[in-house]
A = this chain, B = another copy of it.
């Protein structure tokens, strides 16, 4: 199958700053993908803190269980990622393979196993071919020196472009870098995390503070996107802080969430999380449009989220948007099936700036032709006002096209 690059892909790979204390590596195992790297590693300087969030699926991959265990004490020395095999539902053998990868990394870096983080992405149920994978991991760790472009490419599977986002900020007069990479295209409906995303900074931040920041920003980034309502067994977001930009002079590491030095960091961190999440949707399998579903005026924020997700996950809504068809009745259908409080006569609906419903009646100013014209664009806003209370929610998704079917019918072949 020839992969066509998503029409929503950014024109150029973004400028991503170097992060002090992080040494990136990539290598080819040659197992599943020919002619490209499928192994990504990052070696962290001593003192690096880590925070993470993982899938809430009841069936979790081996590497997820492994990371969950190792994240407890907040220290990290290495991240190892393989693309092509999820190592999920692989039984006792899958556990052994994961252990063997950890042992290999531990030996090379002379670090503790609990400071190693392993992530896998790919087909569920198939075993990782151990020997070529470990060989490539060794090479990636030893030769290292890769850049963000190589790194973000190495973790992709059905992705049609590499996803990265970065910012430079200042803390205590020191220039601090934040860089993030992510992968994801199908099986996207994250629940507390997303496919795979890794964010690196050379700021000095305590692991508990890092965890709090991550939890706060998940809601409007990785937990606010859906491609196909399917949730991966491998969803993982990890954030690493090396502290290397702040390890000279008498700079105190940040150990409180309320620390005013975090303000600029949080803004940049939030932007990167959101940017990466949106890039995943823009690379949604078969996507031709980015859809922003905005629900406000719901009974509470949980009801707003359920209604927004119901719209964003509805195959009929997504197919209509793909066809630039203002078939707003399908949006109404999707709202109703969420089974949250709705009073028809209070509902207002806009597609972009086109007012369709006002207090439950079709607006006199509504023009189907104008709305269709707007929907021919590549970014569509579905704006629902329920008029009940103050619950709101934003979800980003993409349209459903024949491309989704083609990609997923062919995925393993």
A: which residues have CB within 8 A of B? 56-60, 86, 88-89, 91-92, 123-126, 186-187, 189, 191, 228-233, 313-316, 319-320, 322-323, 325, 327-330, 332-342, 344-345, 357, 360-362, 400-402, 404-406, 408-413
Contact = CB atoms under 8 A, between A and B. Distances in A.
B401 A230 contact: no
A341 B228 contact: no
Given A336-B231, A342-B58, A123 B329 contact: yes
Contacts of A316: 186-187, 228, 230, 408
B59 A332 contact: yes
A412 B327 contact: yes
Given A230-B337, A344-B59, A125 B332 contact: yes
Contacts of A125: 328-329, 332, 362
A229 B315 contact: yes
A322 B59 contact: no
A315 B228 contact: yes
B56 A86 contact: no
Contact of A323 (B92, B126, B325, B409): B409
Contact of A230 (B124, B315, B339): B315
Contacts of A329: 86, 88-89, 123-126
Given A329-B125, A336-B58, A412-B327, A319 B405 contact: yes
Contacts of A338: 58
A338 B191 CA distance: 11
A339 B56 contact: yes
Contact of A333 (B59, B344, B404, B412): B59
A320 B233 contact: no
Contact of A404 (B315, B328, B330): B315
A375 to B, nearest CB: 12
Task: State the majority secondary structure of interface residues on A.
Answer: loop
A332 B401 contact: no
B402 A406 contact: yes
Given A230-B333, A231-B333, A320-B408, 12 more contacts: A57-B339, A88-B329, A88-B332, A89-B344, A229-B313, A230-B337, A323-B408, A323-B410, A327-B411, A327-B412, A400-B405, A402-B402
A242 to B, nearest CB: 34
A400 B332 CA distance: 23
A341 B409 CA distance: 29
B123 A327 contact: yes
B336 A233 contact: yes
6 contacts: A57-B333, A229-B229, A231-B333, A325-B412, A402-B406, A405-B405
Contacts of A231: 333, 336-337
A282 to B, nearest CB: 18
A306 to B, nearest CB: 11
A145 B411 CA distance: 53
A332 B89 contact: yes
A298 B326 CA distance: 42
A339 B58 contact: yes
Q: Which of A59, A325, A328 has the most CB of B within 10 A?
A: A59
B361 A320 contact: no
Contacts of A60: 336
Contacts of A341: 58
Contacts of A411: 320, 325, 327
A56 B333 CA distance: 11
A229 B315 CA distance: 8
A342 B59 contact: yes
Contacts of A337: 57-58, 189, 191, 230-231
Nearest to A400: B405
A233 B333 CA distance: 6
